[in-house]
């Protein structure tokens, strides 16, 4: 009976004890927080719990396509894009577009981005989700085969090592590609991870009928920016060499990622809140 009473007492006081910010059971026993420090429990949660829930929908692949497997340490930069379609698009519809396309006669394996953020436009209602696109250890197809950028000394060294990158078609022999460097720069798709914020954040134009009207710009929602920052930080936690954030038109002349470009600092600020620092 006494034991039952004790269990009952513990059960009803537990929420109160845990509600204390700094210490476990301090609220009941009036103990100083250093005796039963609670932050240890929270720190464990910080390490274990991912900052974003990443969904993994099944995505079609074109088995005839060539692709490149890479050592994940090659990656040092997150690059943001917009999808150039409506915000109601899904990762599956983007994959359907990319799996049907080709560049210079060579078909694409699957969606070119590694992650996709689904979010309504600012001012609209709806939930925000993140989905996994191309696996991280497969080079992206999001900056173009002609995009080369300056590399840090460490990334250059890693890209120089033949064993860190090999390209080929499924079921055939893979080999190190000979297009890793050009004019002292490194091929951007090999050293970056592509994140697309689904939606059309560029102005209407002959080749962009779904763009926003002149003078009425569309922006990503605060939820999209929060998720983008969390995702960038989650990527850095998993891959500590990823310390840069960039955007598509930093590499080439394009209207992608539209107004998202103006929100990059906010994305970095969100990441900083979770302990991640980006250049």
Partner 1 sequence: MYIQLSLLFILSMPAWANDDLEIKKVFSSYEKIYTQEKTSLVSEVFSEKFLEDHGGEKEFKENIEKMPFPSYELEIKPGQMDKDIKIVKMIPKGHKGHVNNLFILKKIPSGRWKIEGTMSNED
Least distance between partner 1 and beta carbon 125 (Å): 14
Of the candidate spans 35-43, 130-138, 166-174, 251-259, the one that interacts with partner 1 by CB under 8 A turns out to be 251-259
Is residue 247 within 8 A of residue 257, CB to CB? The reply is yes
Taking CB under 8 A as the criterion, which residues in 113-172 touch partner 1?
Answer: 113, 141-145
Residues 25-44 that bind partner 1 (CB under 8 A): none
What CA–CA distance (Å, rounded) separates 174 from 52? 34
Residues 165-224 that bind partner 1 (CB under 8 A): 194, 196, 200, 202, 204-210, 213-214
Residues 83-112: x where in contact with partner 1 by CB under 8 A, - otherwise, as a string: xxxx-xx---xx-xxxxxxxx---xx---x
The rounded distance, in Å, linking the Cα atoms of 71 and 87 is 33
The CB-of-99 to partner 1 minimum distance in angstroms stands at 5
Q: Are 125 and 87 in contact (CB under 8 A)?
A: no
CA distance 253 to 257: 11
The nearest distance, CB 186 to partner 1, in angstroms, is 18
Question: Which distant-in-sequence residues (6+ apart) come within 8 Å of 212 by Cβ?
Answer: 200, 201, 202, 203, 204, 218
Name the token pair of 65: 């396509």
Cβ proximity to partner 1: between 31 and 64 the closer is 64
Report the chain's terminal Cα–Cα distance, integer Å: 62
User: Is the distance from CB of 196 to CB of 231 less than 8 angstroms?
Assistant: no
Nearer to partner 1, 234 or 255 (CB): 255
Using CB under 8 A, count the residues that bind partner 1: 50
Helical pair 222-238 and 264-273, crossing angle rounded to 10 deg: 60
The smaller minimum CB distance to partner 1, of residues 121 and 181, is found at: 121
Asked if 194 and 83 count as a contact pair (C-beta separation under 8 A), the reply is no
Interface with partner 1 in residues 49-88 (CB under 8 A): 60, 62, 64-65, 81-86, 88
Closer to partner 1 by CB, 83 or 164: give it. 83
**Least distance from C-beta 65 to partner 1, angstroms?**
8
CA distance 245 to 266: 11
Which residues are at the interface with partner 1 (CB under 8 A)? Answer: 60, 62, 64-65, 81-86, 88-89, 93-94, 96-103, 107-108, 112-113, 141-145, 194, 196, 200, 202, 204-210, 213-214, 248, 252-256
């Amino acid at each position: 009976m006494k034991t039952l009473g004790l269990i009952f007492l513990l059960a009803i006081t537990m929420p109160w004890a845990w509600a204390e910010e700094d210490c476990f059971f301090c609220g009941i026993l009036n103990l100083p927080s250093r005796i039963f420090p609670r932050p240890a429990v929270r720190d464990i949660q910080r390490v274990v719990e991912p900052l974003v829930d990443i969904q993994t929908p099944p995505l079609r692949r074109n088995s005839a396509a060539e692709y490149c497997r890479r050592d994940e340490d090659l990656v040092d930069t997150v690059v943001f894009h917009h999808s150039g379609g409506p915000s109601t698009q899904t990762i599956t519809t983007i994959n359907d577009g990319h799996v049907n396309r080709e560049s210079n006669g060579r078909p694409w394996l699957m969606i070119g981005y590694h992650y996709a953020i689904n979010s309504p436009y600012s001012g609209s209602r709806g939930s925000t989700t993140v989905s996994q696109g191309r696996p991280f250890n497969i080079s992206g197809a999001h900056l173009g085969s002609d995009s080369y950028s300056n590399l840090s000394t460490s990334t250059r060294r890693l890209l120089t090592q033949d064993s860190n990158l090999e390209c080929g078609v499924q079921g055939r022999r893979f080999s190190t590609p000979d297009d890793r460097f050009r004019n002292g720069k490194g091929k951007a798709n090999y050293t970056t991870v592509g994140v697309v914020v689904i939606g059309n954040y560029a102005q209407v134009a002959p080749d962009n009928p779904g763009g926003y009207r002149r003078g009425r710009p569309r922006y990503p929602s605060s939820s999209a920016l929060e998720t983008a920052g969390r995702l960038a930080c989650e990527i850095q936690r998993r891959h500590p060499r990823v310390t840069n954030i960039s955007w598509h038109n930093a590499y080439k002349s394009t209207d992608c990622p539209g107004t998202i470009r103006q929100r990059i600092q906010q994305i970095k600020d969100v990441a900083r809140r979770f302990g991640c620092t980006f250049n």
